[in-house]
Amino acid sequence: MKQKGSVMPKILSISIIDFHLHFPVSHDVYLDGWEKRFVDRFGKAKLQKIYHNQQTLSERWRDAYLIPCTEEDLPDIETQAKRWVGETNKYRIDKAVFLTGGGNDQLAKIVKLAPDVFVGFAHHDPFSPGAAEELERAIVKLGLRGYKILAPTVEKRLDDPELDPLWKIAEKYQLPVLIHFGILGGGGGIGNAINMSPLVIHDIAKGFPDISFIIPHFGCGYTRELLQLAWACPNIYIDTTGTNDWIRWMPYPVTIRDLFRVFTETVGPQRIIFGTDSNHFPRGFTYPVFQTQWQACRDIGLDDSSMCAIFHDNAARLLKNVRA
């Protein structure tokens, strides 16, 4: 056991790694490009209307999952960092991997507030000028340990040869690259884009086999496509993150247990990585997400070795392999 007073299940004497967190900030940069393109074409008023509608739908979602509202006035990053350190102690979280946090420079500062437990990923637009150089700077100079891309917000296809210099940097440092595919932003969010299906990186994953590509939320509505991609490319990993509310929008019944079963029976537990998508307070670490996923794994009969792999060891291995 890592800490006394832990509320985690005592089935295994291990800590966990949450591979999918977002550090709470008042404004994050990863939607800036998509927002600018939308405003340029349709106007700012329509963007504001979209976000207003999303807020209404988000309130219904929070009510359904008993999730408290985000704080209106966020404390400074030092206060937020202390809160997250408290969460890691309370829930025996060995590493807290923040995929976003207000830009690469700010997230690097956040990681330095608790370097023994915090891990940060670069999260700039892959098509921004000098993106490859920025990725190398983020790893070598800033100490970040991976790269996060929100595929539906990216303007061009991710298999465009223009991105080859970026992938070469990721390959050089053997970075874990986490790419969100599928629907984005909850109800009223992005439902269609040029990079919705994970199969768009099929050739990239084959061309850069030393990059570990992690696809979160079990493919977020693109389960079949993710299974095809994982069948074709052994460097594809599956991230279990979040409530996976998208399953309610499938044309056939799907449960969290079903998802764990099909992926453990195909790609195997050595390529599955646990995450929660936790971010803001007062919610903090979303323990109910952990409970649901842990129980699903037990329900399908996973042994202790498989549980260790999913909830800790696979993530630890990917982070250890980073050459920086």
Closest CA to 211 of 229, 237, 231, 240: 237
Residue recorded with tokens 């199969």: 199
DSSP 69: P
DSSP 77: H
Q: For position 63, what pLDDT does the model report?
A: 59
Sequence-distant (6+) residues with CB within 8 A of 299 are: 257
pLDDT band for 9, please (50, 70, 90 cuts).
Answer: low
Tokens for 242, please give them. 């979040």
Q: Is the pLDDT score of 55 beyond 80?
A: no
CATH of domain 16-320: 3.20.20.140
Q: For position 310, what pLDDT does the model report?
A: 98
Q: For position 61, what pLDDT does the model report?
A: 57
Cβ proximity of 260 and 248 under 8 Å = no
Q: Is the pLDDT score of 242 beyond 60?
A: yes
Sign of torsion, CA 22 28 33 38?
Answer: positive
Cβ proximity of 229 and 205 under 8 Å = yes
State phi, psi for 148 to the nearest 5 degrees: -115, 135
d(CA 312, CA 324): 21
Q: Of 42-56, 136-150, 244-258, 270-284, which gets the smallest average pLDDT?
A: 42-56
User: How large a percentage of the chain has pLDDT more than 70?
Assistant: 91
pLDDT band for 4, please (50, 70, 90 cuts).
Answer: very low
**pTM for the whole thing?**
0.92
pLDDT band for 211, please (50, 70, 90 cuts).
Answer: very high
Which position has the higher pLDDT, 62 or 236?
Answer: 236
Tokens for 52, please give them. 């207003």
Cβ proximity of 217 and 182 under 8 Å = yes
pLDDT band for 1, please (50, 70, 90 cuts).
Answer: very low
Element (H, E) at 214: strand 212-215
Average model confidence (pLDDT) for the chain? 92
Sequence-distant (6+) residues with CB within 8 A of 66 are: none
Q: What is the mean pLDDT of residues 165-191?
A: 93
Q: What is the mean pLDDT of residues 22-41?
A: 86
d(CA 131, CA 124): 7
